[in-house]
Amino acid sequence: MRETRYTDQHEWVRLEGDEATVGITKFAAEQLGDVVYVELPAKGKTVAAGAEAAVVESVKAASEVYAPLGGEVTGANDALAAAPSKVNDDPEGEGWFFRLKLSDPAAFAKLMDAAAYAAFVKGL
């Protein structure tokens, strides 16, 4: 079963088994503008929940991408190096950033579901 959850820092997390795929939301991509560069974490790196895991740069600004959950990076979307615009074109699909093997899979349930995230964004 695939379920997507969201953070208040505008990251999304899609859980598939014990591995989570992470990216930035459509809202975040729209706020950034045209993405020109993405720095991804190395495979094997351990990240703590809430810690900086990646960097995304646009024509407007550079922003950190935080690990919504703790775990070990199992892979990164290397296609973004050659085509960072994938983040704008499909932020919650082909524009994903990295995958994590979660250290605490139960923490996933504490993140916002789609309805809660939509309400959060509406309040901004």
- What are the sequence ranges of the domains in the chain? 2-122
Give residue-wise pLDDT tens across range 11-48: 999 999 889 999 999 999 999 999 999 999 999 999 99
Residue 100's pLDDT band (cuts 50, 70, 90) = very high
Q: How far apart are the C-alpha atoms of 2 and 16, rounded to whole Å? A: 5
Protein fold of 2-122: OB fold (Dihydrolipoamide Acetyltransferase, E2P) (2.40.50)
pLDDT at 111: 98
Instruction: Indicate if the alpha-carbon torsion angle 91, 94, 95, 101 is positive or negative.
Output: positive
Does residue 1 have a pLDDT over 80? Answer: no
